[in-house]
C-alpha cells in the first residue's frame, strides 16, 4: 500500500539504474547511511553519482519493482567525503573531468577541490595533463551546472522538465527566473521547442490569470503561428477569433482589445480585402510584400546582359550547336530566360528539365555570362550538380551566414556578384527563403525558378512557386512532353498516372521493370517486408542499401517514421557502438541522422542528413559528419537531430535515391493524397517499391488534398491588392 505522507531523506546517489536525459526522469540507488540503500525514482535535475541530495517525497509500492521512494523535489548538495567527490566529479556531469582526472584532482586537492574549481581555477593546472583550456572548460561547466541546478530547483515546483529548463537557461542565463516571473509567454517566441501551451502551463502555475492581456496576446499570436504551420500567411478575422478563444478557453469578447493592441504594436498586420478582414504575423506580411516588390523591381530594371536573342534562337535550332537538341517546349523555356528577367519553368519527371538546364548552362558559358546554380537543400544541390556536372550550392550557403550576427552576408546592401541565378526545386522555397534570396539579387540580374508544381508545397509558410505561376506578371513555361527514354520507365509513367488520379501499372512490355507493388494488408508485417526488399529486390537491381530510402507518409503508427527508424536502427546498426540516450531515442555511432531545424551558428539546416562519427561522454558531445562538414553537438542540443534510416515524404523533397520503398496503409488516411505519393515516387532513380493496401493507394488517388493556402503574393504581383 502506498503512503502519501511527505518524507524527507538525506543521502548520496550511489548509481543510476535508469536516466532519461530528455525529461530528467531517473531511477537510482541512494545510500541513506553506511548500511542502508533505497531505490528512488523521479525527476532529478543535473545530478550525478556521488552527489549528496535531500529528497522530498513519499514511499510507494511499485507493481513490478517493489518498494520505492517517489521523489517530488530534489535539493542538491556538494559531496563532503573524498569518495563522494571522486564519484561526483567523475560522473561525466562536469565537462573536462572523467574518472581518471576526478581521481587525480581529489588526490591532489582533497576536500578543497570544489573551492579550487570555483575560486582558483588556474591551480587546476597543477595536476598533470590539465592545461589552461581544460581548466577553463571544467570551471565553466561547474558554474553552469550550479546555475542550472538552482534554476531547475525553482522550476521543479512548476512541473518543468530538466530538458526544458536547460533550454530556458541557455536562452536567458542568470536572468531566467526574472524573465519567467515577468512574462513567461516570452518563452513561446524566444526558446525553440517551447510553444505557447507549455509557456501557458508555466504562467498559470506562476499565478498568471487566464484573462491577463499578456496571455491573450500570446494566444492570438500562437493561433496565427498554427495557421502558418499549414502554409498560410493570412487568417480571416472570424477564424482567428474563434481559434484563439478555443485555445484560451475565453469568450470572444475578451479578444478584441488585445487584437487591436497587437495591431497597434505592429506585431500583427490587418488587411481588408474583398469584404473580409485578414490578419498576419508582421514578419510573414513583410516577407511576402518584400518578395512581390523585389520581383516587380527586377522586371522593371534593365538587364545587365544585352542578349542577341535572334542569334541565340538560331543557334538553338541549328543541329549540334551547344551540343544538345531540344524539344520546342524546352526551346521556349530557354528563350523566355533571355527575354524576361524572371522566369518560372515547371515540369514533371521525364519532361526534360535537366536537359533544359544543361543546355542553358552551355549557352551561358558560350556567351561568357556569369551564373550560379542553387537549391533549397544540400541534397537538392548535390542532385542538380551531379545532373549538370556544374557546381551547385544551397541557398543558405550561397547567401553566407555572418557568424557574429547569424544574418546573411549577402543582402540588399551587399548583393551577389552574378548575372544569372538558376534555382532548382523551387516548390520547396517558403516565403522567408524567397525573401532572403531576392533581397541579395542585384536588380540587373536574371533569375530562373525551376520546379515541379505537382510536388508537395514548401514546409514553411507561403505558396511561392504556385503564386508566381498564377501571376500574370511572371513569365512561365510548363514542360509537358514526356521523352521516349523517360517512357521506358514505369517510375515515370506511374508518376504521371498518379498525379492525374489513375492507378499505377505494374508491368509493361515497353518499360523497365523498375516499379514494384507488394500487397500487404497488415501494417504489423511492414518491417519484415522492408527487410525482404533489402535482401531480394535491391540485390536483383544491384542497388546498395545505403543508396535507398524508406519514405513514409507520417511520423506516428506502426507504419510511421518513428517506429520504422528504431526498427531499422536495430537491424542495420545493432553493434555495441558508443551510444547516448535522448528522450525515446538512443543515438549510436554510425547512425544515420537528420537535422530538423535551421542552425545558423553551426551552418546546418532543416533536412540535412549525416552520420554519427563519435560520441564523447567526457566532453558530452556528439560528432556528425555531413556532406561537406563535420558538426559537433552538445548533449543538450540533441533535440535538433532525429534518426534518418526512414524519413517522412515531406522531408525527402529535393532528394534522389537509387531506390525508394514507400509504405501506404489506411492508417495514413489523414495524409493520403496524389501529390504525396507522386512526390515519393519521383524520388526514385532506378527502383520504386510500394508496400501496402490497394485500398490505401486508391484512397490516395481519389484525394487531391491541395490545401488552398491563404496568401496574397499573386495579388501583390498583379497589383490587385
Buried b (16+ CB within 10 A) or exposed e, 356-393: bbbbbbbbbeebebebbbbbbbbbbbbbbbebbebebb
Per the CB < 8 A criterion, the answer to whether 388 and 373 are in contact is: yes
What pLDDT band is residue 220 in, cutting at 50, 70 and 90? very high
**Going by C-beta distance under 8 Å and a sequence separation of 6 or more, which residues neighbour residue 357?**
373, 384, 387, 388, 422, 424, 450
Q: In the chain, what percentage of residues exceed pLDDT 90?
A: 59
Q: Which three cell numbers stand for residue 389?
A: 556536372
- For cell 532519461, the residue is 20
pLDDT for 29: 92
Sign of CA dihedral 316, 317, 321, 324: positive
Running DSSP on this structure, what letter comes out for residue 112? G
Per the CB < 8 A criterion, the answer to whether 463 and 292 are in contact is: no
Tell me what the pLDDT averaged over the chain comes to.
89
What pLDDT band is residue 648 in, cutting at 50, 70 and 90? very high
pLDDT for 94: 85
What pLDDT band is residue 626 in, cutting at 50, 70 and 90? very high
pLDDT, tens digit, 9 for 90 and up, residues 27-39: 899 999 777 899 9
pLDDT for 320: 53
DSSP 540-600: HTT--GGGEEEEES-SSSTTSHHHHHHHHHHHH--S---EEEETTEEEETT-EEEE-S-BT
What pLDDT band is residue 163 in, cutting at 50, 70 and 90? low
Residue 479 has pLDDT above 80, yes or no: yes
C-alpha 565/C-alpha 530 separation (Å) is 12
| Three-state DSSP state, 227 | helix
pLDDT for 440: 98
Residue 185 has pLDDT above 60, yes or no: yes
C-alpha 432/C-alpha 439 separation (Å) is 11
Q: In the chain, what percentage of residues exceed pLDDT 70?
A: 95
For residue 690, what are the β-bridge partners? 517, 662
Residue 1 has pLDDT above 60, yes or no: no
Give the least confident one: 248-257, 482-491, 606-615. Answer: 482-491
C-alpha 382/C-alpha 399 separation (Å) is 17
Residue 325 has pLDDT above 80, yes or no: no
Listed ranges 176-185, 274-283, 574-583, 669-678; the one with the highest mean pLDDT? 274-283
C-alpha 214/C-alpha 719 separation (Å) is 37
**Going by C-beta distance under 8 Å and a sequence separation of 6 or more, which residues neighbour residue 676?**
456, 553, 649, 700, 705
Residue 698 has pLDDT above 80, yes or no: yes
pLDDT for 74: 81
Could you tell me which residue, 62 or 261, shows the higher pLDDT?
261
What is the Cα Rg of the chain in Å?
29
Residue 414 has pLDDT above 90, yes or no: yes
**Going by C-beta distance under 8 Å and a sequence separation of 6 or more, which residues neighbour residue 239?**
227
Could you tell me which residue, 277 or 78, shows the higher pLDDT?
277
In a 10 Å sphere around its CB, with 0-12 CB exposed, 13-18 middle and 19+ buried, how is residue 462 labelled? buried
- The number of residues in the chain equals 721
- For cell 531505490, the residue is 39
What pLDDT band is residue 488 in, cutting at 50, 70 and 90? confident
pLDDT, tens digit, 9 for 90 and up, residues 357-373: 998 998 899 889 999 99
In a 10 Å sphere around its CB, with 0-12 CB exposed, 13-18 middle and 19+ buried, how is residue 351 labelled? buried
Residue 58 has pLDDT above 70, yes or no: yes
C-alpha 50/C-alpha 11 separation (Å) is 10
- For cell 526551346, the residue is 331
Helical segments of 369-422, H only? 378-388, 395-399
Per the CB < 8 A criterion, the answer to whether 499 and 454 are in contact is: yes
Sign of CA dihedral 672, 675, 678, 684: negative
Could you tell me which residue, 160 or 673, shows the higher pLDDT?
673
Beta carbons within 10 angstroms of residue 268's beta carbon: 24
Mean pLDDT of 45-58: 82
φ/ψ of residue 552, rounded to 5: -120, 150
Mean pLDDT of 470-494: 89
Listed ranges 196-205, 318-327, 459-468, 508-517; the one with the highest mean pLDDT? 459-468
pLDDT, tens digit, 9 for 90 and up, residues 258-308: 999 999 999 999 999 999 999 999 999 999 999 999 999 999 999 877 778
Q: Which three cell numbers stand for residue 581?
A: 540516450
Residue 162 has pLDDT above 70, yes or no: no
pLDDT for 575: 78
Residue 319 has pLDDT above 60, yes or no: no
pLDDT for 156: 65
Residue 167 has pLDDT above 80, yes or no: no
Residue 19 has pLDDT above 80, yes or no: no
* Numbers of helices and strands, H then E, in the chain: 28, 26
Mean pLDDT of 52-59: 88
C-alpha 317/C-alpha 331 separation (Å) is 9
Could you tell me which residue, 442 or 307, shows the higher pLDDT?
442
pLDDT for 51: 83
Amino acid at each position: 500500500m502506498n503512503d502519501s505522507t511527505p518524507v524527507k531523506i538525506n543521502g548520496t546517489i550511489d548509481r543510476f539504474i535508469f536516466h532519461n536525459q530528455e525529461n530528467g526522469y531517473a531511477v537510482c540507488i541512494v545510500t541513506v547511511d553506511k548500511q542502508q540503500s533505497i531505490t528512488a525514482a523521479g525527476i532529478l535535475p543535473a545530478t550525478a553519482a556521488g552527489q549528496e541530495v535531500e529528497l522530498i517525497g513519499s514511499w510507494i509500492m511499485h507493481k513490478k519493482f517493489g518498494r520505492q521512494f517517489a521523489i517530488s523535489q530534489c535539493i542538491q548538495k556538494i559531496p563532503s567525503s573524498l569518495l563522494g567527490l571522486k564519484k561526483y566529479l567523475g560522473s561525466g556531469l562536469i565537462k573536462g573531468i572523467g574518472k581518471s582526472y576526478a581521481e587525480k584532482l581529489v588526490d591532489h586537492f582533497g576536500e578543497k577541490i570544489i573551492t579550487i574549481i570555483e575560486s582558483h581555477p588556474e591551480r587546476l593546472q597543477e595536476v598533470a595533463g590539465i592545461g589552461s583550456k581544460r581548466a577553463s572548460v571544467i570551471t565553466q561547466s561547474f558554474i553552469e551546472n550550479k546555475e542550472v541546478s538552482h534554476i531547475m530547483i525553482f522550476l521543479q515546483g512548476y512541473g518543468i522538465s530538466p530538458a526544458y529548463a536547460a533550454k530556458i537557461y541557455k536562452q536567458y542565463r542568470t536572468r531566467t527566473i526574472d524573465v519567467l516571473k515577468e512574462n513567461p509567454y516570452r518563452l513561446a517566441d524566444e526558446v525553440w521547442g517551447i510553444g505557447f501551451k507549455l509557456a501557458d502551463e508555466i504562467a498559470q502555475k506562476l499565478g498568471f490569470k487566464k484573462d491577463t492581456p499578456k496571455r491573450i496576446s500570446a494566444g492570438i499570436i500562437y493561433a496565427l503561428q498554427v495557421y502558418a504551420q499549414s502554409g498560410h500567411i493570412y487568417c480571416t478575422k472570424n477564424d482567428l477569433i474563434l481559434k484563439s478563444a478555443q485555445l484560451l478557453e475565453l469568450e470572444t469578447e475578451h479578444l478584441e482589445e488585445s487584437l487591436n493592441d497587437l495591431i497597434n504594436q505592429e506585431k500583427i498586420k490587418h488587411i481588408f480585402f474583398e469584404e473580409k478582414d485578414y490578419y498576419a504575423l508582421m514578419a510573414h506580411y513583410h516577407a511576402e510584400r518584400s518578395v512581390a516588390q523585389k520581383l516587380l523591381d527586377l522586371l522593371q530594371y534593365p538587364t545587365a546582359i544585352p542578349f542577341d536573342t535572334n542569334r541565340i534562337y538560331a543557334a538553338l535550332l541549328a543541329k549540334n550547336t551547344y551540343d544538345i537538341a531540344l524539344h520546342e517546349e524546352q526551346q521556349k523555356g530557354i528563350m523566355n530566360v533571355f527575354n524576361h528577367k524572371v522566369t518560372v519553368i515547371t515540369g514533371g519527371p521525364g519532361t526534360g528539365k535537366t536537359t533544359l538546364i544543361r543546355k542553358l548552362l552551355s549557352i551561358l558559358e558560350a556567351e561568357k555570362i556569369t551564373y550560379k546554380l542553387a537549391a533549397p537543400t544540400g541534397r537538392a544541390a548535390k542532385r542538380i550538380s551531379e545532373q549538370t556536372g556544374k557546381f551547385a550550392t544551397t541557398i543558405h550557403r550561397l547567401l553566407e551566414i555572418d557568424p557574429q550576427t547569424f544574418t546573411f552576408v549577402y543582402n540588399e546592401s551587399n548583393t551577389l556578384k552574378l548575372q544569372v541565378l538558376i534555382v532548382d526545386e523551387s516548390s520547396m522555397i517558403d516565403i522567408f527563403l524567397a525573401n532572403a534570396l531576392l533581397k541579395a539579387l542585384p536588380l540587373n540580374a536574371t533569375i530562373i525558378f525551376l520546379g515541379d508544381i505537382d510536388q508537395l508545397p514548401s514546409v514553411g509558410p507561403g505558396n511561392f512557386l504556385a503564386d508566381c505561376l498564377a501571376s500574370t506578371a511572371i513569365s512561365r513555361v510548363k514542360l509537358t512532353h514526356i521523352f521516349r527514354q523517360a517512357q521506358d520507365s514505369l517510375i515515370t509513367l506511374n508518376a504521371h498516372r498518379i498525379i492525374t488520379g489513375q492507378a499505377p501499372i505494374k508491368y509493361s512490355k515497353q518499360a523497365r521493370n523498375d516499379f514494384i507493388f507488394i500487397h500487404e494488408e497488415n501494417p504489423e508485417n511492414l518491417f519484415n517486408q522492408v527487410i525482404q526488399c533489402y535482401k531480394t529486390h535491391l540485390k536483383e537491381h544491384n542497388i546498395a542499401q545505403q543508396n535507398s530510402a524508406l519514405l513514409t507518409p507520417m511520423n506516428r503508427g506502426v507504419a510511421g517514421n518513428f517506429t520504422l527508424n528504431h526498427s531499422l536502427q536495430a537491424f542495420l546498426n545493432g553493434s555495441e557502438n558508443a551510444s547516448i540516450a535522448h528522450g525515446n531515442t538512443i543515438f549510436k555511432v554510425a547512425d544515420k541522422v537528420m537535422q530538423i531545424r535551421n542552425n545558423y551558428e553551426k551552418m546546418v539546416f532543416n533536412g540535412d542528413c549525416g552520420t554519427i562519427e563519435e560520441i564523447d561522454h567526457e566532453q558530452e558531445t556528439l560528432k556528425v559528419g555531413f556532406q561537406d562538414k563535420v558538426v559537433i553537438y552538445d548533449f543538450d542540443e540533441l533535440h535538433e537531430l532525429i534518426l534518418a534510416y526512414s524519413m517522412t515524404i515531406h522531408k525527402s523533397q529535393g532528394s534522389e535515391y537509387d531506390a525508394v520503398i514507400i509504405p501506404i496503409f489506411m492508417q495514413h488516411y489523414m495524409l493520403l493524397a496524389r501529390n504525396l505519393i507522386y512526390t515519393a515516387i519521383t524520388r526514385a532513380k532506378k527502383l520504386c517499391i510500394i508496400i501496402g493496401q490497394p485500398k490505401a493507394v486508391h484512397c490516395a488517388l481519389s484525394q487531391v488534398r491541395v490545401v488552398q493556402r491563404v496568401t496574397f503574393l499573386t495579388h501583390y504581383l498583379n497589383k490587385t491588392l
